[in-house]
Amino acid sequence: MKVALADGGCESWLIAAARRFRTDTLLKTVGTCLFMVLFFVGYFYLLKNPRVPPLVMPLTAIDRMMPFVPLALPIYVSLWVYVSLPPSLFETRREAISYALVTAGMCSAGLLCFLVWPTAVPPAPIDWMRYPGYASLKGVDAAGNACPSLHVASAVFSGIWLDRQLRHFGAGPIGRWSNAAWCAAIVLSTLATRQHVALDAAGGLTLGLACAYLPRSWVSSRV
Protein backbone atom coordinates (compact mmCIF):
# COMPACT_ATOMS: atom_id res chain seq x y z
CA MET A 1 0.00 0.00 0.00
CA LYS A 2 1.12 3.58 -0.71
CA VAL A 3 0.78 6.75 1.36
CA ALA A 4 0.13 10.01 -0.49
CA LEU A 5 2.69 12.79 0.06
CA ALA A 6 2.05 16.52 0.12
CA ASP A 7 3.92 17.00 -3.18
CA GLY A 8 1.69 14.51 -4.95
CA GLY A 9 4.10 11.59 -4.72
CA CYS A 10 3.66 8.44 -2.67
CA GLU A 11 5.65 6.07 -0.50
CA SER A 12 5.09 2.65 1.02
CA TRP A 13 3.44 2.53 4.42
CA LEU A 14 6.52 0.89 5.92
CA ILE A 15 8.70 3.78 4.76
CA ALA A 16 6.15 6.27 6.09
CA ALA A 17 6.10 4.51 9.46
CA ALA A 18 9.92 4.43 9.58
CA ARG A 19 10.00 8.15 8.86
CA ARG A 20 7.64 8.79 11.77
CA PHE A 21 9.74 6.52 13.97
CA ARG A 22 12.83 8.64 13.30
CA THR A 23 11.04 11.84 14.37
CA ASP A 24 12.09 12.92 17.90
CA THR A 25 13.45 9.44 18.52
CA LEU A 26 15.42 10.47 21.62
CA LEU A 27 12.44 12.21 23.22
CA LYS A 28 10.13 9.28 22.54
CA THR A 29 12.63 6.71 23.80
CA VAL A 30 13.54 8.58 26.97
CA GLY A 31 9.91 9.52 27.61
CA THR A 32 8.68 5.93 27.21
CA CYS A 33 11.41 4.54 29.47
CA LEU A 34 10.79 7.20 32.13
CA PHE A 35 7.05 6.53 32.01
CA MET A 36 7.62 2.80 32.54
CA VAL A 37 9.98 3.43 35.46
CA LEU A 38 7.49 5.73 37.21
CA PHE A 39 4.67 3.27 36.59
CA PHE A 40 6.60 0.35 38.05
CA VAL A 41 7.55 2.36 41.13
CA GLY A 42 3.86 2.80 41.93
CA TYR A 43 2.95 -0.72 40.81
CA PHE A 44 5.49 -2.51 42.96
CA TYR A 45 4.86 -0.27 45.96
CA LEU A 46 1.19 -1.25 45.96
CA LEU A 47 2.11 -4.87 45.26
CA LYS A 48 4.34 -5.01 48.34
CA ASN A 49 2.15 -2.80 50.55
CA PRO A 50 -1.54 -3.64 50.06
CA ARG A 51 -3.86 -1.53 52.20
CA VAL A 52 -5.86 -4.60 53.23
CA PRO A 53 -5.37 -8.33 52.59
CA PRO A 54 -5.92 -8.92 48.84
CA LEU A 55 -9.10 -10.62 47.70
CA VAL A 56 -8.29 -13.82 45.80
CA MET A 57 -10.02 -13.69 42.43
CA PRO A 58 -12.29 -16.65 41.63
CA LEU A 59 -11.69 -19.03 38.76
CA THR A 60 -14.23 -19.32 35.96
CA ALA A 61 -14.94 -21.94 33.31
CA ILE A 62 -12.60 -20.06 30.96
CA ASP A 63 -9.73 -20.44 33.42
CA ARG A 64 -10.41 -24.16 33.77
CA MET A 65 -10.38 -24.61 29.99
CA MET A 66 -7.22 -22.56 29.42
CA PRO A 67 -4.13 -24.75 29.76
CA PHE A 68 -0.84 -23.59 31.20
CA VAL A 69 1.40 -22.88 28.21
CA PRO A 70 5.09 -22.45 29.14
CA LEU A 71 5.93 -21.08 25.67
CA ALA A 72 3.51 -18.18 26.24
CA LEU A 73 6.04 -16.37 28.43
CA PRO A 74 7.89 -14.57 25.56
CA ILE A 75 4.52 -13.37 24.23
CA TYR A 76 3.59 -12.11 27.69
CA VAL A 77 6.89 -10.23 28.02
CA SER A 78 6.58 -8.81 24.48
CA LEU A 79 4.01 -6.33 25.82
CA TRP A 80 6.85 -3.95 26.69
CA VAL A 81 7.89 -3.80 23.05
CA TYR A 82 4.28 -3.61 21.87
CA VAL A 83 3.29 -0.64 24.04
CA SER A 84 6.28 1.35 22.79
CA LEU A 85 5.12 1.21 19.15
CA PRO A 86 2.18 3.69 19.15
CA PRO A 87 4.06 6.55 20.85
CA SER A 88 7.03 6.02 18.53
CA LEU A 89 4.80 6.62 15.48
CA PHE A 90 3.35 10.01 16.39
CA GLU A 91 4.53 12.88 14.23
CA THR A 92 4.58 15.78 16.71
CA ARG A 93 5.55 16.21 20.33
CA ARG A 94 2.06 17.45 21.13
CA GLU A 95 0.53 14.21 19.88
CA ALA A 96 3.02 12.07 21.80
CA ILE A 97 2.55 14.04 25.02
CA SER A 98 -1.26 13.96 24.72
CA TYR A 99 -1.12 10.21 24.18
CA ALA A 100 1.16 9.82 27.20
CA LEU A 101 -1.30 11.76 29.38
CA VAL A 102 -4.20 9.51 28.38
CA THR A 103 -2.03 6.45 29.00
CA ALA A 104 -1.07 7.84 32.41
CA GLY A 105 -4.75 8.28 33.21
CA MET A 106 -5.45 4.65 32.32
CA CYS A 107 -2.57 3.37 34.44
CA SER A 108 -3.54 5.65 37.33
CA ALA A 109 -7.09 4.28 37.23
CA GLY A 110 -5.69 0.75 37.49
CA LEU A 111 -3.35 1.67 40.35
CA LEU A 112 -6.25 3.34 42.17
CA CYS A 113 -8.18 0.06 41.90
CA PHE A 114 -5.20 -1.78 43.39
CA LEU A 115 -5.04 0.74 46.22
CA VAL A 116 -8.73 0.68 47.10
CA TRP A 117 -9.45 -2.97 46.25
CA PRO A 118 -6.33 -5.16 46.36
CA THR A 119 -6.76 -8.45 44.53
CA ALA A 120 -4.62 -11.49 43.84
CA VAL A 121 -4.71 -14.53 41.56
CA PRO A 122 -5.22 -17.92 43.20
CA PRO A 123 -2.10 -20.09 43.52
CA ALA A 124 -1.65 -22.47 40.61
CA PRO A 125 -0.68 -26.12 41.26
CA ILE A 126 2.52 -25.73 39.25
CA ASP A 127 6.13 -26.25 40.32
CA TRP A 128 7.52 -22.95 39.04
CA MET A 129 11.09 -24.06 39.70
CA ARG A 130 10.72 -26.39 36.71
CA TYR A 131 10.39 -23.30 34.52
CA PRO A 132 13.33 -20.93 35.21
CA GLY A 133 11.79 -18.01 33.32
CA TYR A 134 8.57 -18.35 35.27
CA ALA A 135 10.37 -18.66 38.58
CA SER A 136 12.02 -15.31 37.90
CA LEU A 137 8.73 -13.73 36.82
CA LYS A 138 6.86 -15.00 39.87
CA GLY A 139 9.68 -13.78 42.10
CA VAL A 140 9.41 -10.25 40.73
CA ASP A 141 5.72 -9.93 39.82
CA ALA A 142 3.87 -11.67 42.64
CA ALA A 143 0.22 -12.68 42.60
CA GLY A 144 -1.15 -9.25 43.60
CA ASN A 145 -2.43 -6.29 41.57
CA ALA A 146 -4.66 -8.68 39.67
CA CYS A 147 -7.89 -6.93 38.68
CA PRO A 148 -8.11 -5.10 36.38
CA SER A 149 -5.20 -6.57 34.46
CA LEU A 150 -3.11 -3.61 33.36
CA HIS A 151 -1.26 -6.02 31.09
CA VAL A 152 -4.49 -6.58 29.17
CA ALA A 153 -5.57 -2.93 29.39
CA SER A 154 -2.23 -1.73 27.99
CA ALA A 155 -2.27 -4.29 25.17
CA VAL A 156 -5.83 -3.43 24.11
CA PHE A 157 -5.26 0.32 24.36
CA SER A 158 -2.03 0.09 22.36
CA GLY A 159 -3.56 -2.29 19.83
CA ILE A 160 -6.43 0.06 19.02
CA TRP A 161 -4.14 3.06 18.61
CA LEU A 162 -1.67 1.10 16.53
CA ASP A 163 -4.51 -0.02 14.26
CA ARG A 164 -5.49 3.63 13.76
CA GLN A 165 -1.93 4.47 12.84
CA LEU A 166 -1.67 1.55 10.44
CA ARG A 167 -4.89 2.67 8.73
CA HIS A 168 -3.46 6.18 8.45
CA PHE A 169 -0.31 4.82 6.82
CA GLY A 170 -2.39 2.75 4.40
CA ALA A 171 -1.24 -0.61 5.74
CA GLY A 172 -3.06 -3.51 4.15
CA PRO A 173 -4.86 -6.42 5.81
CA ILE A 174 -1.62 -8.27 6.59
CA GLY A 175 -0.24 -5.42 8.68
CA ARG A 176 -3.48 -4.75 10.52
CA TRP A 177 -4.31 -8.41 11.15
CA SER A 178 -0.77 -9.02 12.39
CA ASN A 179 -1.28 -6.22 14.89
CA ALA A 180 -4.62 -7.70 16.00
CA ALA A 181 -3.06 -11.16 16.36
CA TRP A 182 -0.18 -9.83 18.46
CA CYS A 183 -2.61 -7.96 20.72
CA ALA A 184 -4.86 -11.01 21.13
CA ALA A 185 -1.85 -13.24 21.83
CA ILE A 186 -0.70 -10.93 24.64
CA VAL A 187 -4.18 -10.93 26.17
CA LEU A 188 -4.40 -14.74 26.06
CA SER A 189 -0.86 -15.05 27.42
CA THR A 190 -1.97 -13.46 30.70
CA LEU A 191 -4.18 -16.52 31.24
CA ALA A 192 -1.82 -19.08 29.72
CA THR A 193 1.02 -17.98 32.03
CA ARG A 194 -1.30 -17.99 35.06
CA GLN A 195 -0.47 -14.36 35.75
CA HIS A 196 -4.17 -13.47 35.63
CA VAL A 197 -7.59 -15.08 35.60
CA ALA A 198 -10.42 -14.37 33.17
CA LEU A 199 -12.13 -11.79 35.40
CA ASP A 200 -8.86 -9.84 35.61
CA ALA A 201 -8.61 -9.90 31.82
CA ALA A 202 -12.23 -8.76 31.48
CA GLY A 203 -11.54 -5.82 33.77
CA GLY A 204 -8.43 -4.91 31.81
CA LEU A 205 -10.30 -5.21 28.52
CA THR A 206 -12.99 -2.83 29.79
CA LEU A 207 -10.43 -0.30 31.01
CA GLY A 208 -8.38 -0.45 27.81
CA LEU A 209 -11.42 -0.01 25.58
CA ALA A 210 -12.80 2.86 27.66
CA CYS A 211 -9.54 4.80 27.46
CA ALA A 212 -8.90 4.00 23.79
CA TYR A 213 -12.30 5.38 22.82
CA LEU A 214 -12.08 8.62 24.77
CA PRO A 215 -12.83 11.62 22.52
CA ARG A 216 -10.25 11.60 19.72
CA SER A 217 -9.78 15.34 20.24
CA TRP A 218 -7.92 14.47 23.45
CA VAL A 219 -5.13 13.21 21.22
CA SER A 220 -4.57 15.00 17.91
CA SER A 221 -6.53 13.38 15.07
CA ARG A 222 -3.37 13.33 12.96
CA VAL A 223 -2.29 9.91 14.19
Would the pLDDT of 9 be above 80?
no
Collect all residues with Cβ–Cβ distance below 8 Å to 35 and sequence separation of at least 6. Answer: 100, 103, 104
What percent of the chain lies above the pLDDT cut of 70? 91
Pairing of strands 10-12, 55-56: unpaired
pLDDT band, residue 215 (cuts 50/70/90)? low
Collect all residues with Cβ–Cβ distance below 8 Å to 24 and sequence separation of at least 6. Answer: 93, 96
> What would the pLDDT profile of 49-85 be if each residue is shown by its tens digit?
999 999 999 999 999 999 999 999 999 999 999 999 9
pLDDT band, residue 141 (cuts 50/70/90)? confident
Nearest in space to 120 (alpha carbons), one of 181, 48, 186, 188: 48
Average pLDDT over residues 74-103: 91
- What's the whole-number average pLDDT of the chain? 88
